[in-house]
Structure 1
Amino acid sequence: MTEATLTPDRILDAAEEVLTRHGPAKTNVVDVARALGVSHGSVYRHFASKAALRDAVTERWLARVSGPLDTITAEDGPAADRLRRWFDALIAIKRQKANVEPELFATYNAIFAESREVIHAHVETLSGQIAAIIADGIARGEFAETDPEATGKAVFYATARFHNPSHAAEWKDPGIDAAFDDLWKLIVRGLMADGGGKR
């Protein structure tokens, strides 16, 4: 590859491959440049530091999680049903990544601690999507009046066991789906304008 054809996306593709192969502790910009057949200076023209490159890789990986959820957030229909589908999708995406891409999943877990601002932005995006669905439910008269943003964050953190990568080892528990169903009943009952009497 020549420097003229080098793009940020190609660098990120190579960085993912190198991280998967060697892990975050043994991966640096020189390794990524070597995989691309360019000088490390060429990589630095696109990403100012190793930390910036890692953050960009992490952002792209997390966008693959939040992107599909945007569609559900923007859909029409009963808010409770949409919120449940949003969580089902989030949980399925995380489990799929843990099962199908275990090395990459483990690698990202290792570098998340070094990308706190990126992770914070991701959490804000996801809890914001929940808040948008809750706000729509309030507007429709389906959900009780509440602060959508605060409630969105509360619901996001209350369900962390089922989608936060730090709990990935628990996702193989055969009772994990039933546990989420039990928690979901409590959450939706608390949100409903009628006190959840119909649920």
Structure 2
Amino acid sequence: LLESILVQEAIELYRQWLAQAKPLYQATLWNGQYYNLDSESGSEVILADQLCGQFYAQLLKLPDIVPADCAQSALKTVYDTCFLKFCNAQLGAVNALRTNEVLEETDSSHPLAVSTGLNFGLAAFLIKLGMKDEAWQLTEAVVRQVYEQGLQFRTPEAITPVGTFRSSHNLGAMGIWAIYQWIMDNG
């Protein structure tokens, strides 16, 4: 009984935090098209994983963190900028890219790399939001990179535009199962 009461108290506390944080998050980071990296730097970097929290909230059937129309707009911006405008959509969505398509330096906080797990999660979210063609195009680009580079038995965490990779045998690529889950749950 005590455990049940403590769980309910924790749930209520998290609900309160979410109610407090949502309007602040929206007012501070939403720029009308996507979510800014932060509130003060003025960075024009579009992060491919800016909707990671929203993705997991929906996957776990929790309340939305951001409005649906903002999620759709941000996801389209990520797809257009980080995938279509990066390496001719041949590698996958890069982790971060500036809005003016100027590539980040390799020593920056957002080096140019395509994270396999992030891309599969992004594809699953595209499917969830009704952008199936885009999801399959993104998935195909990443899968081709892995298989055409002979990495299928040591799937890397990330692939770079110069053909290098890091952290082989990485389990992040198991994110591909999120695609399967959305399809099974939603047809």
Shorter-chain TM range is 0.3 to 0.5
From the two aligned structures, give the one with the greater strand fraction. 2
Higher relative CO (Cα under 8 Å, sequence separation at least 6) belongs to 1
From the two aligned structures, give the one with the greater helix fraction. 1
Greater gyration radius: 1
TM-score, with normalisation over the residues of structure 1?
A: 0.31
